[in-house]
Structure 1
Amino acid sequence: MQTILILSLVAAAIGSGLIAGIFFAFSTFIMTAFSRIPAEQGIAAMNSINVTIVRSPFMALFVPTAILCLVISVMAVINWRGGASALMLAGAALYLLASFVSTIVFNVPMNDALEKVSGNGPQAAELWATYLRDWTWWNHVRTIASLLASVAFVRALMLV
């Protein structure tokens, strides 16, 4: 059981860290670059990313890391290890709620709305401006949460 726990923590630390890096790229330069081009081009680029990402290796990292977080949560509760278990639960909650669930609840519906708008005209420009602001804000949340989850998993590894 100890080996499974350690391997799960290592994989979750790596997975959440890689996801944090992907989200970090969007928060720090991708969305800024999109904000500097015409709305029609930004919308087209983001829609292309949104179609591509669900068929990419990103999903093979994003979803399994969430599943690992569930497994880690169960192991933390079943075999309580004090601070290590608290860190395991904190890391899992950060990733599951602030990264995974917030993606489903906030970012994906914004992506779906963006897909339905024509790439030009005042309505598109207005939606694009709102999208850039709101989507990026939630992406900042996902970035920080994923990074903190990774840190929590690494710290828990040091205690188990």
Structure 2
Amino acid sequence: MNEVILNRTFLSAFVGTALLALAAAGLGWAQAPRGVAALLAAGALAYAVGVFGVTVALNVPMNETLARLAADSAAGQDYWRVYLRDWVFWNGVRAMAGGVSGACLLVAALVGR
């Protein structure tokens, strides 16, 4: 999975979103009204930790471990059960964090107009 998804286009969008969200939060903290700044900070934090952090610290390493194991081996079959349970859980966390991030940033943009 990592070999397909880890490419220049995806990484640019993935890392770029984290950097832009953090930059918006920093600028907002310095210049926006406190409510808008708090929404920007919450959105950036949700993305940086819940989407970017979970992906880098958990999902990618799980993908790499799975890729190293032979599918027909006992170790591969045992890890698949763990992988499926944990990867789906953390993917759900990423999805919720992405939704929270998007909602916070959208509301901040609408309120801060």
TM-score calculated relative to the size of structure 2 = 0.92
In 2, the alpha carbon distance for the partners of 1:84 and 1:101 equals 24
Q: Match of 1:71?
A: 23
Q: Which one of the candidate residues 121, 137, 154 is aligned to 2:73? A: 121
Q: Match of 1:138?
A: 90
Deviation at 1:95, TM superposition (A): 0.2
In 2, the alpha carbon distance for the partners of 1:140 and 1:56 equals 25
Structure 1 residue runs without a partner (length 5+) = 1-48
In 1, the alpha carbon distance for the partners of 2:3 and 2:58 equals 17
The count of residues paired between Structure 1 and Structure 2 equals 112
Alignment-mate amino acid for residue 111 of structure 2: L
Does 2:10 align with 1:58?
yes
Q: Which one of the candidate residues 103, 110, 113 is aligned to 1:158? A: 110
Q: Match of 1:97?
A: 49
Query: Aligned residues: percent identity?
Result: 32
* Structure 1 vs Structure 2 CA RMSD: 1.2
Deviations 1:107-145 (A, max 9, x none): 111112112111212211110111011011111000000
Further displaced range: 51-60 or 83-92 = 51-60
TM-score calculated relative to the size of structure 1 = 0.66
User: Matches of residues 37-48 of structure 1 in structure 2 within 5 Å?
Assistant: none
Deviation at 1:76, TM superposition (A): 1.9
Structure 2 residue runs without a partner (length 5+) = none
Using CA pairs below 8 Å that are at least 6 residues apart, which structure has the higher relative contact order? 1
